[in-house]
Structure formats: C-alpha cells, structure tokens
Amino acid sequence: MSADTATVTRARTGGPREDGPEIAEHVLGWTLVVVLAMLLTQLGLL
C-alpha cells in the first residue's frame, strides 16, 4: 500500500474542507478584526 492509497482510503473526520470559499473566509476575518478594533477604540482600550 502506497502513501497515496492510504490518503485516499482515510475516512473524513468532519474537519474543514480544502475546497471551501476562501475569499469569504478572508472577508469575514478582516471584518471581525475591524469590528473588534472599533469596539476597543470606543471603549478607550486602544
């Protein structure tokens, strides 16, 4: 059994998929960063 065959026969465990919408993840991540920075600024912590 080669390494390729072992990789193909391995069962999925419910982790993140490799073919997901990467641009949406980046946009949501940066949106979270901006919102967090705005909150910290409003609270006077930044």
Dump pLDDT digits (tens) for 4-39: 555 566 676 776 666 667 888 999 999 999 999 999
pLDDT the model gives residue 33: 97
Domain presence at residue 6: no
**16 assigned to some structural domain:** no
Expressed as residue numbers, the domain containing 26 is 22-46
Has residue 32 been placed in a domain? yes
**Residue 46 above 90 pLDDT?**
no
- Confidence (pLDDT) at 36: 95
User: How many domains, the chain?
Assistant: 1
> Could you please report the per-residue DSSP string of 3-39?
HHHHHHHSPP-S---TTS-HHHHHHHHHHHHHHHHHH
The pLDDT value recorded for residue 13 is: 76
Nearest to 10, CA basis, from 1, 22, 21, 20: 1
- From residue 39, how far is each of 20, 30, 32, 45 by CA, in Å? 29, 14, 10, 9
Quick one: average pLDDT of 1-5? 58
